Structure 1
Amino acid sequence: MKHALVLVAVLLGGCTLFKTKLEPARAPVAVVKPAAPALLDANGTPIERVPFRTGVSSATVEKMAKGQGCLGGQGAGLVTEAGPVEVYRMRCEDGALRGKVFTARCELRQCVKM
């Protein structure tokens, strides 16, 4: 009886070798994000979007903006490349300057409102 069970197990295990052809692996599909609609100014010129980046003087500019009545969601973002002279921009989403943009120029971490 033991030999019969072993024989059945071997035969059932060997059946998996005789399956039909295996399908080839499919290549991964790239996910494409839809393009954001282009923003245009009053003259029809496209407006460039700058990604939000923090800089060494972001906290300083945020404090300056708060003193002027500008409170923002993301805070002050670096608009130019990092270096000795940097320009920061902060959207005022709340406070006295709601809907406005606060900008500041920082040279060697000394910031001045623009």
Structure 2
Amino acid sequence: MKSPSTGLFIAIATILLAGCVLQPNVRNYTPPRSSTPPPAEAPVSLSESLGPSEQIIDMPQQTPAPKRGELSDVVERMARRSACAPAAGAKLIARTSAVETYQVSCEDGQQQLYKCELRQCRLMN
């Protein structure tokens, strides 16, 4: 036969063990941050990524037409008179109510700036 103290011991042990199982004392693990980034994947060339029926075609770059102003033709004529052959025409770079500023790229690589105030243009440089 069991003694009364044995039953009490089993009851206390059961309560203690149940408390340990229901409320575990476990902390979450967070790994330390690494100062080095993960290794990057090797780049893949364009030709390697194409299928057997695909090919690379070089397309010429289309440059937008230079922005023209009201006095672009006048400025181009002035540039020709000052020994500049305009490569792409006079480009309007600034405009206010009474002033227009133009840039002319010459074929020899020089740049000229013109300022037109009240329809009167002059070379700036």
Q: What TM-score results when the alignment is normalised by the length of structure 2?
A: 0.45
Q: Which has the higher strand share?
A: 2
Q: What TM-score results when the alignment is normalised by the length of structure 1?
A: 0.49
